[in-house]
Amino acid sequence: MEVFEAIKGRRSIRNFEDRPVGKEVLQRLIEAGIWAPSGGNAQTWRFIVITEKDMLKKMKMVSPGLLGNPPAVIVTCQDRKEAERKGGKLGVESVSVMDTAMAAQNIMLAAYALDLGACPIASFHKKGIQRLLRLPEEIFPQLLISVGYPKEVPNPLKRQTEGICFFEEYCG
């Protein structure tokens, strides 16, 4: 699939078919994630892939933004201890967070290329997810990505094009 086709065709999917996503497919998504750029090549992202129904149900209880019933959720985390060790304050507060976001976008584009739907979710209780998944304190969840086969694909949202990009000089 052509890159621009994926970038412009991807939508945030919140309604999924009741159909599981195979482990190999999910592994391919993670592969796409780990090929994202990483500041200082620190690669402090960590991914926890959840497909077990009971756990997904529990996660939904602490994740108001997790809508629909996705058959899989990728919990995209940063290893804060490693981020600090490798990148100092900048690493843990900024670079590592951006790295996980770039990995998440790769995952969602790859999902689209594989006929899957995905949605990034920031509305969840961080400590709640940490407790449910028994994550150590340094493994900090930044984004949930719901993954599944789309049941409904929303129309594209209008993109703002005016006043957001300036060449040579800011004229806002």
Is there a contact between 51 and 108 (Cβ–Cβ < 8 Å)?
no
Looking at the Cβ atoms of 114 and 132, the one nearer to other proteins is: 132
Q: How far is the CB of 155 from other proteins (least distance, A)?
A: 8
Which is closer to other proteins, CB of 14 or CB of 86? 14
Q: What is the Cα–Cα distance from 103 to 43, expressed in whole angstroms?
A: 10
Q: How far is the CB of 40 from other proteins (least distance, A)?
A: 29
Question: Distance of alpha carbon 96 from its chain centroid, rounded?
Answer: 14
Helix (H), strand (E) at residue 19? none
**Residue (162 or 168) nearer to other proteins, CB:** 162
Give the integer Cα–Cα distance in Å for 134 and 12: 28
Closest contact distance (angstroms) between CB of 153 and other proteins is: 12
Residues that bind other proteins (CB under 8 A): 12, 14, 57, 60-64, 123-125, 128, 154, 157
CA separation for the pair 99, 33 (Å, rounded)? 10
Residue 44 identity: T
The amino acid that residue 112 corresponds to is Y
For residue 160, the minimal CB distance to other proteins (Å) is: 13
In the complex with other proteins, the residue whose CB is nearer, 56 or 109, is 56
